Amino acid sequence: LIGITEPKDGDLSEWYQQVILKGDMLEFTDIPGCYIYQPASYRIWEFIQDFFNERIRKMGVKNCYFPLFISEANLQREKDHIEGFAAEVAWVTEGGKSKLEKRLAVRPTSETAMYSFYSKRIRSHRDLPLKMNQWNNVVRWEFKHAVPFLRSREFLWQEGHTAHLTEEEAGKEVMEILDHYASIYEDLLAVPVVKGQKTKNEQFPGAYYTKTIEGYIPAVGRGIQAATSHCLGQHFAKMFDITIEDPKQDVKEGEKRNKIHVWQNSWGFTTRSIGVMVLIHGDNKGLVIPPRVAEVQVVIVPVGVTAKTSAEAKEKLYNEIEGLRTVLEDASVRVETDMREGYSPGYKFNDWELKGVPLRLEFGPKDSQNGVVTTSRRDKDGKDTIPIPDVAKKVPELLETIQKDMFNKAADEYAAHRKIVRQWSDFVPTLNDKNVLLVPHCLGGPCEDQIKDDSKGNIEGQEVDARAPSMGAKSLCIPHDQPEPIAEGTKCINPKCGQNAEKWVMFGRSY
């Protein structure tokens, strides 16, 4: 089993493919865009599920499950929502030997499946707020080049769908969910994100507004949409007739109450997050897994055992290693020992480094004599020692330090590549330096499209990074944290626009 043969700053997609394959995260199948999630990646998905389930349960969200298939009639209930995506819907047209009367859509998302039920389920304001979520798989028959985890034809996600009496209550939940999404990335995956709102151009057509968290992949200098939380307004309620009688209306005896449409949200978080984590933290030795989502946080490897080591010395050492494992298990550390005979320590180190195990403890006769274990962090070169009596306390602390250091390193990298650009002549050169840009923008859709066109390809003398095909920059979000007030009379960055700038908008090439 050799290591990664392509450097991360070489052919990135080759590096990425080797890292996820040799790290046993994912396996290809004979269907393009459909992948096997091996236990190593599925365990990370379970950490995410446990974390998020705990938080949404506190919000009164209940998990449920709706059918994989959606009738064409149901899917068409919301016209413009689907029109924009029709090309991505996969259909079932045969059952066994017979053709189906009516073809069935494989769910690409479940708004239309759930909201005809919501129309029945929600009769009165006492049924509100209704908060349901499902963990499932969806299929989108994208033709864009598939990238494992980041862009696949089938992916796993959770999709939350809620109904509220007022816009305010819906808006509060949209933000609460966005914060939980940011927390999954930042506190679990050690991946920094920028919170913001999608521009009209980039939001999902069925939404009233879309809140988003945007990541950044330093290796290729592109942004990536990390998760979205939408307020749908009353649009779907009108399409699906989800109404209640107005509880605030004072009616005279026998007078009919007015019907009002509910306010809805929908929010989604996908297995793309696993790919983002790999791309940001992985290195030339393979995966680097943040301790909070590492199935194996610590691996103990015996060292210094040679043919000359006496049987009793070996026995003694192995017993001490077992002792260390017990102490760590009792300290709630997820620990493994690698006692495989016939494999050198170096071979074992390489193996566990490929798997991204955050911390290795080396333990040999010399360590035993000195009363220490030797530590080797996966995220940093170099070794250190911990006195054996301190292991139960120091190892968990060291794991937390690794988690924090991984996040801070990625956050510094993102901050260093998020550049304020005030004039158009700086836009493409700064973009080509693997940056995302913060620019004063008019928020106009056509202007965004123009910027996308005018930022394709390279400019004289500045070779666009060969890996980032000459795609243009699109708007990623209007960051909640605006860098500074927009000075009176500031013009939109796009010289062809001429409008006043309304907000600082983050632009970038993206996945």
Which residues here bind ligand 87C, judged by CB under 6 A?
81-82, 85, 88-89, 108-109, 111, 140, 159, 204, 228, 230, 266-268
- For residue 341 the two structure tokens come to 């005979």
266 or 376: CB nearest ligand 87C: 266
Cβ 87 to ligand 87C shortest distance, Å? 8
146 or 220: CB nearest ligand 87C: 146
170 or 428: CB nearest ligand 87C: 170
Give the three-class secondary structure for 114. Answer: helix
Cβ 149 to ligand 87C shortest distance, Å? 17
Which amino acid is it at 381? D
Cβ neighbours around 385 below 10 Å, total: 15
Cβ 38 to ligand 87C shortest distance, Å? 26
81 or 377: CB nearest ligand 87C: 81
196 or 291: CB nearest ligand 87C: 196
Cβ 333 to ligand 87C shortest distance, Å? 36
Q: At 268, phi and psi to the nearest 5?
A: -140, 145
Helices (H), 300-441: 311-330, 345-354, 365-370, 391-416, 424-432
Sheet (strand 383-387) strand order: 335-337, 298-302, 359-363, 372-377, 383-387
Cβ 248 to ligand 87C shortest distance, Å? 30
- For residue 179 the two structure tokens come to 């914060």
- For residue 402 the two structure tokens come to 């690794």
Give the C-alpha separation, 136 to 115, whole Å. Answer: 17
88 or 245: CB nearest ligand 87C: 88
Q: 385 with 375: CB under 8 angstroms?
A: yes
Indicate the Cα dihedral angle 304, 306, 308, 309, nearest 10°: 60
74 or 368: CB nearest ligand 87C: 74
Cβ 78 to ligand 87C shortest distance, Å? 9
Of 459, 417, 452, 455, which Cα lies nearest the Cα of 438?
417
Q: 127 with 56: CB under 8 angstroms?
A: no
266 or 374: CB nearest ligand 87C: 266
Q: 52 with 189: CB under 8 angstroms?
A: no
Cβ 107 to ligand 87C shortest distance, Å? 9
205 or 446: CB nearest ligand 87C: 205
Unique residue bearing structure tokens 């301190």: 390
- For residue 323 the two structure tokens come to 């002792």
Give the C-alpha separation, 266 to 160, whole Å. Answer: 5
Cβ 106 to ligand 87C shortest distance, Å? 10
Q: Between β-strands 418-420 and 436-441, what pairing exists: parallel, antiparallel or unpaired?
A: parallel
Please report the DSSP string for 185-228 in residue order: IIIIS----EEEE--TTTS-TT-SEEEEEEEEETTTTEEEEEEE
Which residue number places its CB atom closest to ligand 87C? 268
Unique residue bearing structure tokens 């690698």: 338
268 or 364: CB nearest ligand 87C: 268
Cβ 471 to ligand 87C shortest distance, Å? 20
Cβ 160 to ligand 87C shortest distance, Å? 7
